[in-house]
Amino acid sequence: MQHDMSILSLITNASFMVQMVMLGLLMVSIISWTMIIQKWRVLKQAKQEANLFERRFWSGADLVDLYKALTQRKNAQGMASIFEAGFREYAKLHKQPGIISDAVLEGAQRAMRVTLNREVERAESGLPFLATVGSTSPYVGLFGTVWGIMNSFRALGQVEQATMSMVAPGIAEALIATAMGLFAAIPAVIAFNRFSYSVERLESRYDGFMEEFSNLLNRQVHNQ
């Protein structure tokens, strides 16, 4: 007896449980790729905005004018958002009578640290999902494979004379689940590692800018 061994036929003829595993892995893979594309765009934009802001900041522009320009935009992100938070707190505390210079600087640093953490959290959003997909998808696919092979051997035990043509379709359709698990996991693992490295570099740049801006504010506080 001839069996249709095409991929589509194997999927449609698979058991209900194996089909559910395949469907779940397909949906996870689609979501994963969507998040990969979105995260790539977000991190690329964050890097570009950091480059633009650094060039503008170190070009000798007046800090007050730069702050006013950012507040008018109302959508500052990344390094610009850290600067805006720090300068806002610095200006507010500096106007208070009798406040010591160190308190002004510490307040600005706290505001920048809070904003930095928020920006890093925004950059890291979605990475735990990719890590989960990368670590669990192969096991989900393996579960579908084991279930499919188990059903094939159960059916094989009900006949007197077993042949390879009887068990081959069941094993083949079960192995598709493993392949789909790997198809979902491999891009997720690669993207997670790449994006984690990018976020770490971005955080290092933010932290470095915060330290340099703090030194600049420190000189202004003690020179006044």
Distance CA 18, CA 175 (A): 10
Residue 80 belongs to domain spanning: 7-223
Total domains in the chain come to 1
- How many other CB atoms are found less than 10 A from the CB of residue 40? 14
Q: Which whole number is the average pLDDT over 52-66? A: 85
Please give the pLDDT value at position 2. 46
Which residues are CB-contacts of 72 (< 8 A; sequence separation ≥ 6)?
none
Q: Which whole number is the average pLDDT over 160-166? A: 59
Whether residue 1 is contained in a domain is answered as no
Which residues are CB-contacts of 73 (< 8 A; sequence separation ≥ 6)?
none
Q: Which whole number is the average pLDDT over 41-51? A: 92
Q: Which whole number is the average pLDDT over 118-124? A: 91
Please give the pLDDT value at position 157. 62
Q: Which whole number is the average pLDDT over 27-52? A: 93
Percentage of the chain exceeding pLDDT 70: 85
Whether residue 111 is contained in a domain is answered as yes
Please give the pLDDT value at position 155. 63
What distances in angstroms separate CA 40 from CA 164, 180, 212, one per listed residue? 47, 23, 28
Whether residue 109 is contained in a domain is answered as yes
pTM for this entry: 0.81
Q: What's the angle, vertex CA 192, arms to CA 186 and CA 198, rounded to 5?
A: 140
Whether residue 2 is contained in a domain is answered as no
Whether residue 182 is contained in a domain is answered as yes
Whether residue 151 is contained in a domain is answered as yes
